[in-house]
Amino acid sequence: MAQPPVFVLSVPETPDDPEGSQEPSPYDESEVHDSFYQLIQEQSRWAAEEGLELQQREPGPGALGASGDDHQALLGPEGVPVHSTATLRILASMPSRTIGRSRGAILSQLYNRTVRLRRRAARRPQLRDVGRSARPSLRLYDLELDPLVLEEEEKRVLLVKELQGLTVAQRDHVLRGMPLSLAEKRCLREESRTPRGKRRARQGGRGLPSCCSQLQDSCVLALHNLGLVLLSGLQALKPWRYALKRIGGQFGSSVLSYFLFLKTLLAFNVLLLLPLLAFIVGVQAAFPPAPPASVPAFTGLELLTGGGRFAHTVLYYGYYSNATLSQPCASPPDGGQCPPEAGGLPYNMPLAYLFTVGVAFFITCITLVYSMSRSFGESYRVGSTSGVHAISVFCSWDYKVTQKWASRLQHDNIRTQLKELLAVWQLRRGPRSMCWRLRRVAVLGLVWLLCLGTTLGCTVAVYNFSELMIKSPGSTEREGALLALPLVVCLLNLGAPYLYRGLAALERHDSPVLEVYVAICRNLILKMVTLGILCYHWLGRRVGTLRDQCWENFVGQELYRLMVMDFLFTLLDTLFGELVWRLISERTLKRRGKPEFDIAGNVLELIYGQTLTWLGVLFSPLLPAMQIIKLLLLFYVKKTSLMANCQAPRRPWKASHMSTVFISLLCFPSFLGAAIFLCYAVWQVKPSSICGPFRTLDTMYEAGKVWVRHLERAGPRVSWLPWIHRYLLENTFPIYLVSALLLAVIYLNIQVVKGQRKVICLLKEQISNEGEDKIFLINKLQSVYERKERSSFFLIQPRCSLPARNLLEMPPRLRLPSFP
């Protein structure tokens, strides 16, 4: 079979520029775009002069190669479009492909940048002064993909010379920004290094450097090395950086979300503890009150109960005084009184206690709302995961990784990500029958009824036991009896989730994400209802029975005991629920599978512990410090148990929205409930009359009113502070206004997110339409060039120019070869 002839499309050369004009070079981005714009305009003008117009081909039986569908003629055997040589050359000459693939253009552009960095116009010629053979011409890139080899070598030599004139830091910065391969960058770095002999000869020719220059170079080098050390130190200071990467690589993003949430809680507690230490605990420790007559000895049981000697420390509310603190002055030698200014500035402890707790809660609220909005924007704003598979396959590997353990860790991360992405496709299910749906609804209703009944039973048990503790005489005097209520609460919180997990096995959810959400919802209902009963027990019942005692200390000790018992039961659950079960499965049951990490139960334990911390800030200012210690120990215990006793989820799933759900649950049920509890204690409950900074007031809020009355008597210079208190704090209208503004901002944010989703959908459709337009235009352009080639072929051989009908009637052996 005869091979079809190959035609070369000839395009007129670029006309010479007039005298005095200068061809633009790719000196910066704007000039590059201007040059391409001029190039496109000139190509369009030349095409118009030659009559190359895009006309639609009219199908007909008389045209050679023009019959049939255009798209069918341009499709290969597998449906892939096949373009002719002329079309491929036109595609290669497009500006976007020329600047991206032409190594000559890249080298010349980087050459200009190095010239600008050096600022040595007198010693080395700039690019505009170099001849046309040494710099690329954008107009010569019409139909060729790469320039000549000699020109490229000349430009490479010029670039190497310019790199040799730069410092090591500038050279590395320029090479790092080059759009070249790593092998070419490595070659340029090796070629740009100046040999030691030439360097010494150059220094000998110019003379030895002065002491000032040597000192300056040494200082610059030392500062540079110090900056690199500080940057590496900042990366290393991130807590648990390598451990989190390892957990995410082996167990996936679902298990990793628990540890990230624990890290977030640690940051919240540090932020809450700092103002309490600075303005309450530190000040009271500097000015301690008079010690009581009898202080109980330390027995060790205080670590569990929080009472005994701990009750007379800064750990609890009752230790803080209600006086105005000031630095005492030395007594004068003549026996007179101290002047008013000798004692220093007074410090109103009740006002500082109230305002510090309020400001700390306000900062925590702002941080929570910001974290929730940011997490919501990252998780739900895009709303589509199309194209993530290709990005994970082709763009996930980091080629800067050189160590073996780091490459293995990155390999595990990519493998786990691909498993999670592919698991989404396995969740697709076909249509279900009506009988299956009815049976499913019945099972779900029965399971939920049993779970709610269990929650109701636990709530009734906690309420009855708390009432029994109130009625029993001497329950508050024996330290061992104080552990009874926290012990019952922790036992119920530990046993009920196992019952929920057994009932969830009957539901058989298709999606593991839905299974985790349902478990979180059930555990959350149990813990929040239990805490509600305890809050009523403390503020509604205990306040009346402990009028002659410091009930604030009792509430703080109860929260301390709940936190300690919750931590101990978490350790027991980790030991028996994971370690012992793994040993039984491997040795007795002869199973290879290990238990999975319970994400829902562990996350709810974190939220429960953080709620206890927020509830007890007013009654125990150092409770956030204990929560920090608890979280630190919990991280290492859970990480060790996870690596040794647990396995990755059998059904991997991507926890893309899990962090947002955790922050939302922490904000609304947990923080909001704690804020309501503390506001009720501040505004409505009468403080104890024998302890604490508010012992002489009817409510804790009256400390602010007393301060305002002092300011009113102070003079007109501070009269604006009472006005702010009267019209902004005591008046309810600003509160309603701020609430309305907050709701309006939330509504606008929701509408903005919806609008962004619509815009993203429209942009995706526009991108798809642009691709179809490009395919259409390429097909039309190919048909135009094919028609021109055929016309030029028949002009070259006029004797063979026969009508199309006669060509079709010729024998097969005399017909002309077909054209692509």
Instruction: Note if the pTM is more than 0.85.
Output: no
The pLDDT value recorded for residue 345 is: 55
Q: Residue 776 carries which side chain, given as an amino acid letter? A: F
Q: pLDDT under 50 in the chain at which residues?
A: 1-33, 35-37, 39-40, 43-44, 46-74, 76-78, 80, 95-102, 119-147, 197, 199-207, 333, 335-336, 340-344, 382-383, 799-820
How would you classify residue 121: left for phi > 0, otherwise alpha for psi between -120 and 50, otherwise beta?
Answer: alpha
The per-residue pLDDT for range 512-525, each reduced to its tens digit, is: 888 899 999 999 99
DSSP letter at 769 equals H
Contact between residue 379 and residue 659 where contact means Cβ atoms under 8 Å apart: yes
**CA 327, 328, 334, 335 torsion-angle sign:** positive
CA distances, 242 to each of 192, 246, 409, 646, 699 (Å): 37, 6, 9, 19, 50
d(CA 158, CA 111): 7
d(CA 508, CA 520): 16
How would you classify residue 401: left for phi > 0, otherwise alpha for psi between -120 and 50, otherwise beta?
Answer: beta
Contact between residue 91 and residue 779 where contact means Cβ atoms under 8 Å apart: no
d(CA 705, CA 348): 13
Query: Around 657, how many Cα atoms within 13 Å sit in the side-chain half-sphere?
Result: 14
Structure tokens at 263: 């890290």
Contact between residue 662 and residue 265 where contact means Cβ atoms under 8 Å apart: no
Q: Measure CA 323 to chain center.
A: 47
d(CA 53, CA 46): 11
The per-residue pLDDT for range 342-399, each reduced to its tens digit, is: 444 578 899 999 999 999 999 999 899 888 888 876 766 544 555 566 777 777 787 7
